[in-house]
Chain A
Amino acid sequence: MIATGASIQNAEVMMRAQVVQGRSLWVDARNRLLRNRAAVASMVLLGIIALMALFVPLFWPYAYNAVDYDHISCAPDWWPEESVMCRAGGLHIFGTDDLGRDLFVRILYGARISLAVGLAATLVSLFIGVTYGAISGYIGGRLDEFMMRFVDILYSLPFIFFVIILMVVFQQNFFLLFVAIGAVEWLTMARIVRGQTLSLKQKEFIEAARAAGVGTFGIIRKHIVPNVVGPVIVYVTLTIPTVILSESFLSFLGLGIREPLTSWGVLIKDGADQMESASWTLVFPAAIMAITLFCFNFIGDGLRDALDPKDR
């Protein structure tokens, strides 16, 4: 017998004693991430942008769709260029667009859409990609072969054609944007997860779990997925900017968001149309988008360094 009376009593004594809290790899990674200045600054900046996008429009004096024919394409008051047609005045800190709408609040609305598309499409790709990749990699054999060839086929479909067809068939549905972009982005995710799974599968702790009687899906859920999260999370932070760019690209082509709603892609397109007469309509949306993408990339880099097992 293992549990003799004495040892049970002992165990109870220990139960009451203070249990030492372990330092998980996540805690280590978080500490390393928090020491990375560029990543922390990026997170703060990104947080500010997201919070502003959420809350500032609630009390901002101008609505995103309020047309003002008295201030068409007016520069902000502080704009250094002398030869502008008019000054917007008031709280139009980024000036107005060709319909006299406040550019600042439109950029914030654009941020809402762009970030939402980025997050949602990434989550879709994350969910499909991780499940698909882990199953394919862990079970292996014929199933793996079949699943990966299917991914190859999807890879070879031209993305833009795919989206254009979807958009034409279902009209310009906002929801479809998420689906279309997510449906393409999960392919790479699945490949990454499969590759990681293949190498994890060789590890002794997977064999130990099998010896402990854990079933196939238990192993995938408890041992494979938590261990691929590291590389996956890095890829996620690098996917969000890609998705934002894809959305902008589609909107730029006129396939994405419809007026009066807007996204960064739409704003940049409108700005590009009149960049000679009203350059600020291009400069501001483009700058905010560039900053956001920079932030995501810095965070991705920071995460990769923080999660790199070689550091340990």
Chain B
Amino acid sequence: MAPILEIRNLDVRFSTPDGEVHAVKNLDLAVGEGECLGVVGESGSGKSQLFLGAMGLLASNGRATGSVKYRGDEILNISQNRLNKIRGSTITMIFQDPLTSLTPHMTVGAQIMEALRAHQNVSSGEAEKRTLEILDLVRISEARQRMDQYPHELSGGTRQRVMIAMATVCGPDLLIADEPTTAVDVTVQAQILDIMRDLQKELKTAIVMISHDMGVIAGMADRVQVMREGEIVEAGPVDEIFYRPKHTYTKTLLDAMPRLDRPMREGHVGLSPLSTISADQQLLNVEDLKVYFPIRSGGFLFRKTKPLRAVDGVSFRLRQGETLGIVGESGCGKSTLARAILKLAPKSDGKVVWCGRDVTFSNDAEVRALRKEFQIVFQDPLASLDPRMTIGESIAEPLRSLKPELSADAATQEVRAMMQHVGLEPASINRYPHEFSGGQNQRVGIARAMIVKPKLVICDEAVSALDVSIQSQIVDLILKLQAEFNMSLIFISHDLSIVRQVSHRVMVLYLGRIVELADRHAIYEDPRHPYTRALISAVLTPDPKAERSKSHDRLVSELASPLDTRAQLAFLKSHMIDDADAEQYRPQLQEVAPGHFVAEFDPE
């Protein structure tokens, strides 16, 4: 059977001010009728540029050479007009960020119809009918109303579904999906992958799935190509690649991927057991913490303010040397909670007790003294470093402001020692963040947080922005440092697999409230709350057979607006008052087993 898309000797080069970058090196690839090809690789492997190059969508400084054949016809470097006939009708693409890929000033319906009418000669009535059908197919509820909405009115998951609808409305032969689920939550990711799988079955569309996530590939692909530095290092059927990988790089990738079903990290630094001596030492005691942001709404004169309940009554304790994992989807208040504890965000109510001392109402000077004891590692390593400062200056900054008694030489000395400790060459002390990779910059971020020897470090999605292989190195580093300094950690992540590996206890947040809090094993082996269960079932494992046999009991509802007071009661509808502004009942935590707390929910 002839392949739909055949790529031969494709070479993509970019000329940059710093010299030529050879992104894709002499690469061959073919996609057959109706199959799903997974292309997996870490950032910078050239997996996106490969297809952008093939479709003539390279940035202006890029150049593609070689041959790309669509059903036998050469399409590489042909005129834009001819390309446009193919792009968007028979070969379509979906990108990572659905918000930037949609035009903000056009309604969703108009955009889909535009895609349809640009390629097919249909009447406006017919176009509307087809659009409705396709929106139904990607399971967008109330499709008629959605058509008249603008992209910013939709949630991230719905937007991505609109993108899929737009890409499939013309009935393409080939759909190229470039990291389609990277920007969305796990539960939404599961839904989107389901939709794509169904589309592939119903419409017989071939799919190219580009992803860095082995889990996504395992569930979708028939064949897999592993890319690294612009070359294909291994290719084969999905089961071959996952169960009998030959190339060491493929093995590294599979090995580095955190797995929910394997909480112990073989061959890596393990979680240090809680020492019994420190077991009674309460380091942090948070009681009924609330963070509300006033949101203005309504007209010009009679404006109302409504509280946005980012964190709504969270209580927990943390012991010396313990790691508490906080998981939840975006918008559940996990970052706000961390910032409120660190006093980087104003809190509205509640109590924070630090080492037996109530620090709820500390003034600025006291807060600065506290900063020596708790520190934070941020998500985006590059954004959290001042681009105009050398990394040495950045690491030294907490020392300078929190320990001013230290001489400049002593501070430099400590910075160098710390750099070595986190695996950075001390000789690169005068380098700048943009000269480093993401992993190295995250090491700088960690060094900076650890240099004042804090008792508590909050890792706010500290490894989420990194490639899997780097991710596992950074997790190793964090665990190593924790064991050495006997620190407590609050590890915030949307990735349940990592949280399970590094945390002693895990807290699941939903719209600013705890729904479940338990020991790391209990929460995965014996999840009680339906939300926790949905989260766990949505996690992908790099195991094709397990993924294929997975039952798809997905959370159907979208994450509701935190402005709506009813939203918190999504799992306890029996207590709900049907009014978006009413003061509602809050589900209370109940201890179902020693140390295992679950919020009330309606039995199904």
Give chain A's interface residues, CB within 8 Å of chain B: 2-3, 7-8, 10-11, 14-15, 17-26, 31-32, 35, 203-205, 207-215, 218, 222-223, 226-227, 311-312
Contacts and interface: CB of A to CB of B under 8 A. Distances in A.
A14 B417 CA distance: 10
Given A22-B428, A213-B368, A223 B386 contact: yes
Interface of B: 17, 339, 342, 344, 368, 371-372, 375-376, 378-380, 383-391, 397-398, 401-402, 413-414, 416-418, 420-421, 425-432, 434-435, 445, 448-450, 453, 484-485
A14 B416 CA distance: 8
Nearest to A203: B383
B386 A209 contact: yes
A206 to B, nearest CB: 8
Given A212-B448, A213-B401, A218-B401, A18 B420 contact: no
A8 B414 CA distance: 8
A99 B378 CA distance: 72
B414 A3 contact: yes
Given A7-B420, A14-B420, A213 B372 contact: yes
A230 B391 CA distance: 20
Contacts of A23: 431-432, 435
B385 A205 contact: yes
B398 A11 contact: no
Nearest to B403: A213
A210 B448 CA distance: 13
B401 A212 contact: yes
Contacts of A205: 383-387
Nearest to B458: A211
B402 to A, nearest CB: 5
A24 B393 CA distance: 13
B378 A204 contact: yes
Contacts of A3: 414, 417
A11 B432 contact: no
A211 B388 contact: no
A22, A208, A215, A222 interface centre (most CB from chain B within 10 Å): A208
B287 to A, nearest CB: 23
A22 B371 contact: no
Contacts of A15: 413, 416, 426
Contacts of A222: 386, 389
B428 A10 contact: no
15 contacts: A2-B453, A3-B414, A3-B417, A11-B420, A11-B426, A15-B426, A19-B430, A20-B431, A22-B428, A24-B390, A207-B344, A208-B445, A212-B371, A212-B398, A213-B371
B387 A14 contact: no
Contacts of A312: 434
Contacts of B380: 204
B17 A311 contact: yes
A214 B401 CA distance: 6
B414 A215 contact: no
A305 to B, nearest CB: 11
A21 B429 CA distance: 8
Given A15-B416, A22-B390, A208-B385, A213 B402 contact: yes
A218 B431 CA distance: 22
Contacts of B420: 7, 10-11, 14
Nearest to B402: A213
Given A19-B430, A25-B388, A227-B387, 9 more contacts: A18-B427, A203-B383, A208-B376, A210-B344, A211-B449, A213-B398, A213-B401, A226-B386, A311-B17
